[in-house]
């Protein structure tokens, strides 16, 4: 319907709308107002947007960052592993005797098995020996020397008497050993033997005497780093007598030896290492 001037008659076009009531869309628009879209709230999954835009992420799914992003389980940028050793699911290897390769991070030193701590220095070994001597051999040695000193005094008096009479020492009668001297000598010898047995037991079972524990060194088998056992530890102490024979040269041998071993260590295949515990 047009007006006289050729323009469309809008008033006449609106006439049919006046008799029609509001539709469902009009009622819904009046009752439920439309809220603006919150850009910070994830939208439910739906069809892809126009112009090829990707659909938003579904609820509960973290966003991904590329084909190998964190959201898809790929490794982080830079090629680094997602989990470092020592985290959840990656326990460190337990430490213990035997020193497996790499257990303590020590490289193989002096022909020793890989992973075994380096050999202990000569000064640390000397300090451990001095401490053990003061704790376990000082009293027995004092008792033995006290008893033997009284007997030696008697012997010197007898030789002086024989010299006054012109009798050679080989033909001089041996003096009577005082009972007190005999007791002191016997008690000192027994205590010294008990100390050697105890220290050998400690070295054979744990690799450490009290002195070694204080200094921080340990005696182990050279081949595999295990404990010696009582027999080998006791034999090593007996063989230390050979270390003392030529001016204590065997005890000085660790100063220039690659494995820091005495002659007794080489005979029984033992090595003293710096304790890693």
The rounded Cα 201 to chain-centroid distance in angstroms is 24
Each residue's pLDDT tens digit, 16-32 = 444 455 555 555 555 55
* Six token digits for residue 102: 């790499």
Mean per-residue pLDDT over the chain, rounded:
75
pLDDT of residue 23: 58
* Alpha helix ranges (H) inside the chain: 10-13, 15-18, 24-31, 122-132, 138-164, 179-206, 210-215, 230-244, 249-252, 263-268
- DSSP for 108-162 reads P-TTPPTTPPPBPPHHHHHHHHHHHIIIIIHHHHHHHHHHHHHHHHHHHHHHHHH
Structural domain boundaries of the chain? 122-274
Total count of residues recorded for the chain: 277
pLDDT of residue 51: 47
pLDDT of residue 266: 95
Q: What confidence tier does 93 reach under pLDDT thresholds 50, 70, 90? A: very low
pLDDT of residue 25: 57
* Six token digits for residue 196: 């050697």
* Inter-residue contact 172 to 162 (CB < 8 Å): yes
In the chain, the largest separation of any two C-alpha atoms, in whole Å, equals: 177
Rounded Cα gap, residues 100 and 113, in angstroms = 8
> Considering only CA atoms, which of 71, 69, 44 is closest in space to residue 55?
44
Each residue's pLDDT tens digit, 195-219 = 999 999 999 999 999 999 999 999 9
More confident residue, 123 or 37: 123
Share of the chain above pLDDT 70, in %: 60
Average pLDDT over residues 96-117: 58
* Inter-residue contact 256 to 250 (CB < 8 Å): no
- Tell me, what DSSP letter sits at residue 217? E
pLDDT of residue 128: 96
CA distances for 239 relative to 213, 233, 242, 267, angstroms: 22, 10, 6, 8
17-31, 61-75, 136-150, 219-233: segment of lowest average pLDDT: 61-75
Rounded Cα gap, residues 218 and 119, in angstroms = 9
Q: What are 273's strand-pairing partners?
A: 119, 218
Q: What are 183's strand-pairing partners?
A: none
* pTM for the structure as a whole: 0.58
CA distances for 51 relative to 39, 54, 55, 98, angstroms: 20, 9, 11, 68
* Inter-residue contact 221 to 270 (CB < 8 Å): yes
């Amino acid at each position: 319907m047009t007006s006289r001037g050729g323009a469309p008659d809008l008033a006449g076009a609106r006439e049919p709308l006046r008799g029609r009531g509001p539709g469902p869309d009009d009622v819904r628009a009046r009752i439920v107002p439309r809220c603006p879209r919150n850009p910070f709230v994830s939208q439910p999954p739906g069809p892809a947007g126009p112009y090829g835009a990707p659909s938003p992420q579904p609820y509960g799914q973290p966003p991904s960052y590329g084909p190998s992003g964190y959201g898809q389980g790929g490794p982080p940028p830079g090629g680094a592993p997602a989990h470092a050793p020592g985290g959840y699911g990656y326990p460190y290897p337990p430490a213990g005797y035997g020193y497996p390769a790499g257990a303590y991070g020590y490289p193989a030193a002096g022909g020793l098995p890989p992973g075994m701590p380096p050999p202990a220095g000569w000064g640390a070994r000397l300090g451990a020996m001095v401490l053990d001597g003061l704790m376990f051999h000082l009293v027995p040695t004092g008792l033995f020397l006290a008893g033997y000193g009284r007997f030696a005094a008697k012997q010197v008096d007898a030789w002086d008497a024989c010299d006054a009479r012109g009798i050679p020492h080989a033909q001089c009668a041996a003096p009577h050993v005082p009972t007190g001297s005999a007791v002191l000598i016997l008690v000192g010898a027994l205590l010294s033997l008990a100390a050697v047995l105890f220290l050998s037991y400690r070295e054979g079972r744990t690799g450490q005497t009290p002195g070694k524990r204080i200094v921080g060194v340990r005696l182990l088998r050279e081949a595999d780093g295990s404990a010696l056992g009582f027999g080998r530890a006791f034999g090593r102490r007996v063989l230390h007598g050979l270390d003392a024979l030529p001016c204590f040269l065997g005890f000085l041998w660790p100063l220039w030896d690659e494995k820091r071993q005495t002659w007794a260590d080489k005979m029984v295949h033992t090595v003293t290492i710096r304790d890693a515990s």
